[in-house]
Amino acid sequence: MKVLVTGASGMLGGATARALAARGDDVTVLQRRPSGSGLREVLGDIADLALVRRAVQDQQAVVHLAAKVNVTGAEADYRRANVDGTRAVVRACQEAGVERLINVSSPSVAHSGSSLVGVGAGPADPSTARGPYARTKAEAELLALAADSATLAVLAVRPHIVWGPGDTQLVGRIVARARQRRLPLFGQAAVLVDTTYVANAVDALVAAVDRCTPDGVHGEALVVSNGEPRPIGEILTAMARAGGAPLPTRHLPVGPARLAGSLAEQLWKLRPGDDADPPITRFLVEQLSTAHWFDQRRTRQSLGWRPSISLDEGFAELTRWYAANGS
C-alpha cells in the first residue's frame, strides 16, 4: 500500500512510518525538517495546500500526525498547524482520491477539566477543551470526521500520553527536571492516569491503516492506551528512575500550583521568540492532578489490536536506553 505519514520528525510519526515501511508499504513522509527515516520525504508547511496536494498524489492512505504540540504558544500558530493543516490534508485527500485517512488526535479534545474515569472516546468539543492545543485539535478532529464518506474512510485515533526511548517531548523533559530537582508532584499524586508505550501506539496506528475502510472501521474516534492506569506519581517516578535522575519527593498543593502556572504563562508572553515552554502551566497542573483513564474495549475490538508491551516492560526498555545513551 502507498502511505503518506505527516509529522514523521516526531517520535510517534517517525516510528509509524518506519513500521509501515518495514512491513512492505511504500511510504512517503511529510514534515518541516528532515525526519532521518531514510524514506522518501516532502519537506514544508502542513498548511501549504499545494505542498500537501503534491505529497498525497497517488497515495492510498494518509496517517496525519503533523501538529503543534507545545503546551504554550500563540493561538494563531496552533490554528495554522492543527486546523489549517488538517483542512489541507482533508481537501488534498478528497481531490486525489485517497481511500483512507487516519487523523491522529488526542483524548484532550474531549476533556473539560474534570476527571475521566473508565470512559470511552467522548465527542470532541472545542468549546470545553482546555487550552489552545486541545481546542484546535478538537476542531481538527471534527473537520476530519466530517469528511468521512463512501470514497474517503476517515478514522480519528487518540493515543494517550505516548512515551518511549528517545522521547524528548515528555520523558526527556521529566528526566531533565528531575535531575535539576525541579519535578514536583501535585496534590497526593495518586490519581490514576493511562499512558501508552510508543511501540503499542505504533501498532495501533498500523492496525488503523488496515481496518479503516468504507466497509470497516470509519467515521468515529478511538482512544488508544496501554490500558494500565497507574498513579501519576508512580509514572513520573518510574521515568525519573529510568533516566538515573533523583526521584521526585516534593508535593505542591493543586490550588497554588495552578496559580503559579497562570503566572508563568503570563510571564512567558513577555518573552517574544522564546519557543521553550514555561516550567509550569495551568494545563500541566490539571493534567497531572486529575484522573484520566479509558475503556479500551471498543478500540481493541475495532482494530483487532492489543498492547504487546506492558508498562513495566516499557520502563525496563527506557532504563536500558538511558544506560546506553546517557542524557
* Contact call for residues 186 and 289 (beta carbons, < 8 A): yes
Say which DSSP state 248 is in: P
* Contact call for residues 95 and 152 (beta carbons, < 8 A): no
Q: For 325, how many CA atoms within 13 A lie in the half-sphere containing its CB?
A: 13
Q: Is 322 a catalytic residue?
A: no
Enumerate the H helices of 180-303 as residue ranges.
Answer: 198-211, 232-242, 254-268, 282-287, 297-303
Q: Per the structure block, which three cell numbers stand in for 93?
A: 485527500
What does the buried/exposed string (b/e) look like for 54-73 if buried means 16 or more CB atoms within 10 Å of the residue's CB? ebbeebbbbbbbbbbbebbb
Residue 54 corresponds to which amino acid? R
Of the residues 78, 133, 197, 322, only one is catalytic, namely 133
* Contact call for residues 305 and 203 (beta carbons, < 8 A): yes
The catalytic site residues sit at: 133
